[in-house]
Amino acid sequence: MTLPVHTATPPTPARAHLLHDGTVDDYRAAVTAGADRVARRVAEAAGPFTGVRPEQLAPLVDAIDLDRPLRDTTAALDELDEVYLRDAVWFHHPRYLAHLNCPVVIPALLGEAVLSAVNSSMDTWDQSAGGTLIERRLIDWTAARIGLGPAADGVFTSGGTQSNLHALLLAREEALAGANPTDRRILLPQLRIITSAAGHFSVQKAAKLLGLAPDAVVVVQTGPDRQMRAGAVRHEISRCRRVGLTVLAVVATAGTTDFGTIDPLDEIAEVCATSGVWLHVDAAYGCGLLVSPTRRHLLDGIERADSVTVDYHKSFFQPVSSSAVLVRDRRTLRHATWHADYLNPARMVAERIPNQVDKSLQTTRRFDALKLWLTLRVMGPDAIGELFDEVCDRAAQAWQLASADPRFEVLTRSALSTVVFRWRPAGTAADLADAANLHARSALAASGLAVVAGTRVDGRQYLKFTVLNPATSTDDVAYVLDLIAEHAGRYAHTHAVSTADLTCPVG
């Protein structure tokens, strides 16, 4: 047999940009140059932000002609520095105290570099091979940390919002199990989800995406501690059943976004078990406690959940995205399965070929599990837990500082790393305090010296520290509190004077 003679296709300039055996030196040089730019910015960052405004930066981006390439890596990085890196928000900076964004560990960044270059897709075995087994091993490890039992399973997701949607999809299908299409149409509007007033908005979003009724989410109010009460959950389950409604799930939270509070998981689990209702625990924030050497007990009861959301990119110090949804009974994952002949035909199940798309809401999906794998293999879980304990300790110290300061009012002390407070010295009108706190947050960001978050509680404006950087010190916290008081006080003084001038009688 004569083998066909292949004539090599002459290389084109465009092919020089592809990663292959002939361009590995260019790849290495380009990635090194990019890493050098980031390293320089990290080393030189005087604050977490430059304070740039959208109207300042947008014209620079809009002026770039994307149809006219620079054809030079250095020139492209120079341009990128101007439109992105110079004004990036740096979560590694100790005075970034705003959202649930963490500084990232170096082993995870190594994983990011590797997975981007190899570009595995996690939907099928023949696109990922070892990546499939690594992800499955990490799911098993996380399920064991939670204590879900030997039948547990799960899959990596893009984040907590997708994980909550996925879990509630499974719960919906379990609630409708055995119903024919006609019955489904009748039952669907009768389904309800019970969650906390302090829970994440993604529960409401999931209900909408799942085709539930506009009033499908039953919100249980919390007390001053911002925790959902097991008794209130029991009451709502009974009330729903009395009026012919079906509770498809109760969503408890292990780390509310605003308050960092943890619902009484064991008590709520008991209510769900005796009522036969699916329990989902949103531990997107609090999952760091799974590796904490001192605080793991705060998650007691999570092992009784039917499904759990974890966000490694919040409290495991991983780059976005790195998250997962886990279930107690792997059989429930079948509700997300769809077999396509070209991709994951049903025969592959009998052949024991592990295709992750059989479990996932996504098809093409990055190998984000590699970041966590390398973090565990280099640092180990105890080191991650120590970092998370540090930020929880720092938040407790921040709460004490703000509580002892007469310039501030402080709300519930968090079990995790959040502090909710506001500037309001004695005698300051509530409306003026609201406006002053809004101004202080904006002025602080514009200065670039610090970034804090804001929220509304009981109709009033508050500020929020979310401490996720172990490098943040009590001196950093005290400095930011002083800056807030300075901005808020100046605003309040100016506007109080202005109001007085307007109401002063003319002599």
pLDDT, tens digit (0-9, with 9 covering 90-100), for 207-221: 999 999 999 999 999
**Cα–Cα distance, 295 to 291 (Å, whole number):** 9
**Cα–Cα distance, 472 to 97 (Å, whole number):** 9
**Cα–Cα distance, 123 to 120 (Å, whole number):** 9
Judge whether residue 391 has pLDDT over 60.
yes
Question: Partners of 157 in the beta sheet?
Answer: 323
Long-range contacts of the stretch 454-460 (C-beta < 8 A, 24+): 455/258, 455/420, 457/258, 457/411, 457/420, 460/422, 460/430, 460/433, 460/434
Question: And the tokens for 397?
Answer: 């110290």
C-alpha torsion angle, residues 38, 42, 44, 49 (rounded to 10): 110
- pLDDT for 2 equals 67
- pLDDT for 506 equals 44
Question: Partners of 194 in the beta sheet?
Answer: 218, 250
**Cα–Cα distance, 246 to 242 (Å, whole number):** 10
- pLDDT for 502 equals 44
Specify the residue for token string 């407070």: 421
Report the amino acid identity of residue 37: R
Judge whether residue 500 has pLDDT over 90.
no
Judge whether residue 1 has pLDDT over 90.
no
Question: And the tokens for 118?
Answer: 């190899």
Q: How confident is the model at residue 394 (pLDDT cuts 50, 70, 90)?
A: very high
**Cα–Cα distance, 168 to 336 (Å, whole number):** 11
Q: Which of 311, 234, 223, 306 is nearest to 261 (CA)?
A: 223
Judge whether residue 308 has pLDDT over 90.
yes
Question: And the tokens for 262?
Answer: 């943890």
**Cα–Cα distance, 74 to 51 (Å, whole number):** 26
Kindly report the length of the chain. Answer: 507
- Helix 369-378, helix 106-118: angle, nearest 10: 140
User: Under 8 Å CB-to-CB from 388, ≥6 apart: which residues?
Assistant: 288, 289, 291, 292, 315, 316
Q: Cβ–Cβ contacts within 10 Å for residue 211, how many?
A: 12
- The mean predicted confidence, pLDDT, of the chain is 95
Instruction: Compute the Cα dihedral for 288, 417, 284, 372 and give only its sign.
Output: negative
pTM over the 0.85 mark: yes
- pLDDT for 498 equals 58
**Cα–Cα distance, 51 to 89 (Å, whole number):** 9
Question: Under a CB-based contact definition with an 8 Å cutoff, are residues 310 and 283 in contact?
Answer: yes
pLDDT in tens, 122-163: 999 999 999 999 999 999 999 999 999 999 999 999 999 999
Mean pLDDT, rounded, for 370-376: 98
Specify the residue for token string 């769809």: 338
Q: What angle do CA 97, 263, 326 make, to 5 degrees?
A: 85
Judge whether residue 422 has pLDDT over 90.
yes
Q: How confident is the model at residue 4 (pLDDT cuts 50, 70, 90)?
A: low
Question: Under a CB-based contact definition with an 8 Å cutoff, are residues 466 and 100 in contact?
Answer: yes
- Helix 202-209, helix 160-175: angle, nearest 10: 50
How many Cα atoms occupy the beta-carbon half-sphere of 171 within 13 Å?
Answer: 36
Judge whether residue 8 has pLDDT over 80.
no
